[in-house]
Structure 1
Amino acid sequence: MEPATNTEAPDGRGLSFLAQIGLLAGPFLSMVDSSVVTVALPEIARGLSSTLAGAQWVVSGYLLALAAVLGFSAFLAKRYGTRRVYLASLLGFTAASAMCALAPDIGFLIAARALQGSLGAPLVPLAMSMLLGKGGAGREMPATSGLLLFLAPAVGPALGGVLVEAFGWPSIFLVNVPLGLLGGFAVLRAVRDPGGGDRNVRPDLVGVLLLAGGLALATYGASGGPDLGWFAADVWPFWAAGGCLLGLYALWALRREQPAVDLRLLRHPQSALAISLCVLVSVVLFFVVFLLPVFMQDVQGFSAFEAGVVLLPQGIVTGVGTILGDMLTRRYGVRRTVVPGMGILTAGTAALLMVGYGTPVWLTATVLSVRGLALGLTIQPLLAATIGDLDTREIADGNALFNVAERLGGSAGIALLATFFQVRERLHIEGALRGVGAAGTGGRRVGMGGLGALPAGVRGRLAEAATSGFHDTVWVLVAVCALGLCAATLLGGKARPAGD
């Protein structure tokens, strides 16, 4: 079978800059769309005469569809060819974006977002296969890849705020159309068609159903845990059923010759360790991206746009860090690059303890930029280590496994941390209320989002209490980073020659 990841340029060299941009357009748009809609939900609810709770499904439907279809990407790549499936997914995602912008009511928008998520699911693993596989970038993440992929989570909230304020909520979907079309044109022009996949690869329908159902149910259950309680009747059946389905999939996949996602790839110790560390680093990254804007708006009093802008330097510095990580990995090896990176990440995360009620935005942005540099030094070498022991035919499965693990581990880890934060925040605020002799909360939940409704005389005291809850959670993140630092010492230390 012709390897589906042989995407070299027609002259036999690695992927051109135009090809890299085309392959990054899909992942960038998919990752931005995971966060950009959040800031637009109030406007969407008003514009389509919906409740905010109903509009929330515009976000949830996208994420659940993305999780459900993610495990199917490896089969599609092996059966039909990576380039062909990537191009179809990118153009389908672009068309679904146009449908979202033209939605006449909330039901249509939710359905279009689910379609958008399902079509966007293969974009990240397939792009990684072509960028990191044979004939791509020599199994080294290109500098442009790091810059765009790590800028995406940071740019989403800020971009959403600007577009909604200037052009209305449909613009956050319409902007995908020209970018998606340009990305598709770049792939057609600059990425060679390797000749298709292998039609003898059979679909693992049982495995796909188990994996899709498990990922969707586990993700939905994890999303409701922090707000409703992990053992609430509306939550625990979902994460419990999702966990059972994922367990059944593991038993099924280990007995199949061609499973939907090959778990036997975890027999490579370095790949398994690298995937675990990537999940850990992703939790540390995305939880702060989720939590800090909330803290800045509800405690420090900044707008959503201002909070989003503070995240931008981190995304840019992280992209620059991937360039440095590439250089250091080639010269000194994975372990000697990742261990210092994890050390900087631990110290940079601990520096978040300096962020408080009156912290200026420049200091917050500086702390985040230090973490961004560390993330660039860790993620890029870990991605190389993930596929370093895999042969060409295993790369599609390896990338799918990496993305499934990151999606599942990230959702569960962030949800558990959010629960811990809310518990600690509530305890500190209730203690502060008793300390100032304030009246009870009337049965409503006390949290950062409710500080604005409290008497002005106690707001500062309660904001400091909320900050204490934030700092308690930072200490947990520091412990997680320290655990990753210890695990990173077990990585292989061999340097990889450039272009290998």
Structure 2
Amino acid sequence: MTTPSGPQGLDDAALARRVPEAVHRKRWAILTVLLFSLLVVVLDNSILNVAMKTIASPAPTGLGATQSQLEWAINSYTLVFAGLLFTAGLLGDRLGRKKTLLLGMVVFGIGSVLSAISGSSGELIAFRAVMGFGGAFVMPATLAIIMNVFERDEQPKAIGIWAGAVGLAIAIGPITGGVLLDHFWWGSVFLVNVPIVVIAVIAMVILVPDSKDPAPGRLDPVGVLLSVVGLVLLVYGIIKGGQLADFSTPEVYGTAGGGLLILVAFVLYERRASHPAIDVRYFKNPAFSAAVSSIALVFFALMGVTFFIVFYTQSVRGYTPLQSGLLILPLAAAQMLFAPRARLVVDRFGARAVCATGMLLVAATMAGFLLLGTDTPIWVLEVLFFLQGTGMAHIMPPATVSIMQSLPREKAGSGSAVNNTFRQVGGALGVAVLGSVLSTTYRDGIQDKLGALPPQARHAAGESIEATLGVAERMGPAGKALVGPANDAFIHAMHVTVVGSAAVAVLGAIVVAVFLPGRAAARTDRSAEPAGAAAPDRTGADA
């Protein structure tokens, strides 16, 4: 989008100023408030990772959730979140990003309370979906507001801090979850969101400016419906295949294949729609496509690993939830340390080199999990976590900047929605695919050790290490013979799974290296940009 350059002799600094001065002065305070919304969303997921073993425990300690139910507790949130992001972004562009941000925070808080008082795994899955509904309105608005209150030259720094806050949430979440689980019931890990939501909403009402697109697109209910149904069917089929350890049954390939067909129909429909939920023309820009793909692939790999690592630390190694949370600190510390500074490395070497190196580092650390066994020194895991966090810190900020700066500012809500959608879809598929690989491989490894159990109990006990250890505990002294084989089967399944994670991260590095523009191209694009290209929409901006 271009605007007139203004009268002859207009001061260059005045010409560059596009954000209202009153908003510009408060930009760092606004960013701080917006980080609360990021904190509460990421905090919830990182807390849930630590709490999964407790939720899998029989009542009254937990809900007795199976591995497939745990996967759905994660993915019910993720699928609703991802499916509504396009619509949420468009609503923010149309109605005002501040309004949709506040709506999302309130719904997220309500969903947190309902999740905390869930009486069954089914209720938890449903109420996590409510939280996903709220989160879908939070994330696009947060990033869109950042793009509207910061000038283009400060956006990489702001986004770096935004991405670094993910590391803070990753650090706080597991530790907070561990402390709560040591002293309270499992539902407390959701209830802790409420005070953060209350403080954030009050601060947002006072500080955050509103903005909207003066020419927003129309809503696309057909596109939203196709995307949600397609994703749910695809993920259901993948998870069900892992649960049954058989991907050849009609229930598995029928639902997964049907989901893929519906997603293809979604893409075809969006190409022809006059007002699509997602403008597929965005993907004609190589920088945009490569950045989106890198985010999806790295979260595919990362979410699949974080899903099972808690079972390694707690079930195999015997650490408490609090100790498991503390073990994740190096991953968080690396992101907090390097993400805000990633722009400096990008300025020197270019986004392509930095992102590709980050993806290869993530791939190397995924492969490094092959070193982990039942008695591996725990410092090995800590080093791998730190290096993995370092890789992530050099992928997310430059990729996000590439996505957001590929679009005009008035489309920031839509661009943020695309960014977060592919991150969430990548994570959901990672949990589903890699979780199913883990479950299937584990069942194959433990099945012949469960011959003494009745057939029905044998199937349930073989689904996950937690299920096997639960059966062993109920068997008393005779069950001790199952502990060693269960640990060995899990370690083998984990090794198979991380090989898949590493391969996906390598694929991401290749995509980035081939399609993301290098330093020279990026510099040329910036120098060729017209003076008004970065002009924000100030419609409704608060002073």
Task: Give the shorter-chain TM-score range.
Answer: 0.7 to 0.9
CA distance in 1, matches of 2:379, 2:262: 46
Partner in structure 2 of residue 41 of structure 1: 55
1:391 to 405, 408, 425: 408
2:493 to 459, 469, 480: 469
Partner in structure 1 of residue 31 of structure 2: 20
1:492 aligns with 2:509: no
Relative to 1, partners in 2 of residues 1:281 and 1:197: Cα closer, same or farther, differing over 3 Å? same
CA distance in 2, matches of 1:405, 1:159: 28
* Segment of structure 1 superposing worse, 443-452 or 77-86: 443-452
Q: Determine what percentage of the aligned residue pairs are the same residue.
A: 26
Displacement of 1:382 after TM fit?
Answer: 1.1
Partner in structure 2 of residue 319 of structure 1: 336
Partner in structure 2 of residue 190 of structure 1: 207
Displacement of 1:255 after TM fit?
Answer: 1.1
Displacement of 1:215 after TM fit?
Answer: 3.0
1:72 aligns with 2:87: yes
1:91 aligns with 2:106: yes
Matched residues, number: 490
CA distance in 1, matches of 2:241, 2:20: 47
TM-score normalised over the length of structure 1: 0.84
1:131 aligns with 2:155: no
1:116 to 131, 143, 152: 131
1:331 to 348, 367, 375: 348
**Any idea what the Cα deviations from partners look like across 1:89-132, whole Å, max 9, x if unmatched?**
11332244345456788887665443332122121222122224
1:240 aligns with 2:231: no
Asked if the contact 2:143/2:412 (under 8 Å) is kept, the reply is no
1:32 aligns with 2:71: no
Relative to 1, partners in 2 of residues 1:46 and 1:233: Cα closer, same or farther, differing over 3 Å? farther
CA distance in 2, matches of 1:378, 1:171: 33
Relative to 1, partners in 2 of residues 1:92 and 1:409: Cα closer, same or farther, differing over 3 Å? closer
Partner in structure 2 of residue 300 of structure 1: 317
**Any idea what the Cα deviations from partners look like across 1:309-348, whole Å, max 9, x if unmatched?**
2122212212222123122113332023223323322332
CA distance in 1, matches of 2:119, 2:375: 43
CA distance in 2, matches of 1:9, 1:89: 26
Asked if the contact 2:339/2:393 (under 8 Å) is kept, the reply is yes
1:363 to 363, 369, 380: 380
* Segment of structure 1 superposing worse, 385-394 or 245-254: 385-394
**Any idea what the Cα deviations from partners look like across 1:30-79, whole Å, max 9, x if unmatched?**
2332353443535895389x764698676564444334423311221121
Partner in structure 2 of residue 275 of structure 1: 292
TM-score normalised over the length of structure 2: 0.78
Relative to 1, partners in 2 of residues 1:110 and 1:367: Cα closer, same or farther, differing over 3 Å? closer
Counterpart residue identity of residue 115, structure 1: V
Relative to 1, partners in 2 of residues 1:450 and 1:91: Cα closer, same or farther, differing over 3 Å? closer
Q: How does 1:80-479 map to 2 (within 5 A)?
A: 80-101=95-116, 112-133=127-148, 135=150, 137-153=154-170, 155-194=172-211, 196-198=212-214, 201-228=217-244, 229-232=246-249, 235-429=252-446, 443=455, 444-445=458-459, 446=462, 448-449=465-466, 452=469, 453=472, 456=480, 459-460=483-484, 463-479=487-503
CA distance in 2, matches of 1:155, 1:381: 24
Displacement of 1:232 after TM fit?
Answer: 4.4
Unaligned residue ranges in structure 2 (runs of 5+): 2-16, 473-477, 528-533, 535-543
Counterpart residue identity of residue 509, structure 2: L
Relative to 1, partners in 2 of residues 1:349 and 1:113: Cα closer, same or farther, differing over 3 Å? closer
Relative to 1, partners in 2 of residues 1:141 and 1:230: Cα closer, same or farther, differing over 3 Å? farther
Relative to 1, partners in 2 of residues 1:428 and 1:485: Cα closer, same or farther, differing over 3 Å? same
> For the aligned residues, what is the CA RMSD?
3.7
Displacement of 1:206 after TM fit?
Answer: 1.8
**Any idea what the Cα deviations from partners look like across 1:368-403, whole Å, max 9, x if unmatched?**
111111110112111112233222233322222222
Asked if the contact 2:105/2:134 (under 8 Å) is kept, the reply is yes
CA distance in 2, matches of 1:110, 1:417: 20
1:481 aligns with 2:505: yes
CA distance in 1, matches of 2:195, 2:235: 31
CA distance in 2, matches of 1:395, 1:327: 24
CA distance in 2, matches of 1:35, 1:174: 14
Relative to 1, partners in 2 of residues 1:463 and 1:213: Cα closer, same or farther, differing over 3 Å? closer
Relative to 1, partners in 2 of residues 1:337 and 1:67: Cα closer, same or farther, differing over 3 Å? closer
Asked if the contact 1:71/1:212 (under 8 Å) is kept, the reply is no
Asked if the contact 1:15/1:135 (under 8 Å) is kept, the reply is no
CA distance in 1, matches of 2:166, 2:397: 11
Relative to 1, partners in 2 of residues 1:10 and 1:226: Cα closer, same or farther, differing over 3 Å? farther
CA distance in 2, matches of 1:462, 1:173: 30
**Any idea what the Cα deviations from partners look like across 1:228-277, whole Å, max 9, x if unmatched?**
34454554444334323322221111112321122221111111011111
Relative to 1, partners in 2 of residues 1:222 and 1:276: Cα closer, same or farther, differing over 3 Å? same
Relative to 1, partners in 2 of residues 1:121 and 1:19: Cα closer, same or farther, differing over 3 Å? same
CA distance in 1, matches of 2:326, 2:454: 36
Asked if the contact 1:335/1:493 (under 8 Å) is kept, the reply is yes
Relative to 1, partners in 2 of residues 1:163 and 1:43: Cα closer, same or farther, differing over 3 Å? farther
Asked if the contact 1:22/1:186 (under 8 Å) is kept, the reply is yes
CA distance in 1, matches of 2:216, 2:467: 58
Unaligned residue ranges in structure 1 (runs of 5+): none
Asked if the contact 1:282/1:410 (under 8 Å) is kept, the reply is yes
Relative to 1, partners in 2 of residues 1:348 and 1:254: Cα closer, same or farther, differing over 3 Å? same
Relative to 1, partners in 2 of residues 1:255 and 1:60: Cα closer, same or farther, differing over 3 Å? closer
* Segment of structure 1 superposing worse, 158-167 or 374-383: 158-167
Relative to 1, partners in 2 of residues 1:180 and 1:249: Cα closer, same or farther, differing over 3 Å? same
Kindly indicate whether structure 1 or structure 2 has the higher relative contact order, using CA contacts under 8 Å at least 6 residues apart.
2
**Any idea what the Cα deviations from partners look like across 1:126-164, whole Å, max 9, x if unmatched?**
212222456365254444322222343564444333223
Counterpart residue identity of residue 215, structure 1: L
CA distance in 1, matches of 2:158, 2:443: 42
Partner in structure 1 of residue 7 of structure 2: none
**Any idea what the Cα deviations from partners look like across 1:281-314, whole Å, max 9, x if unmatched?**
1122212211211122232232333223212221
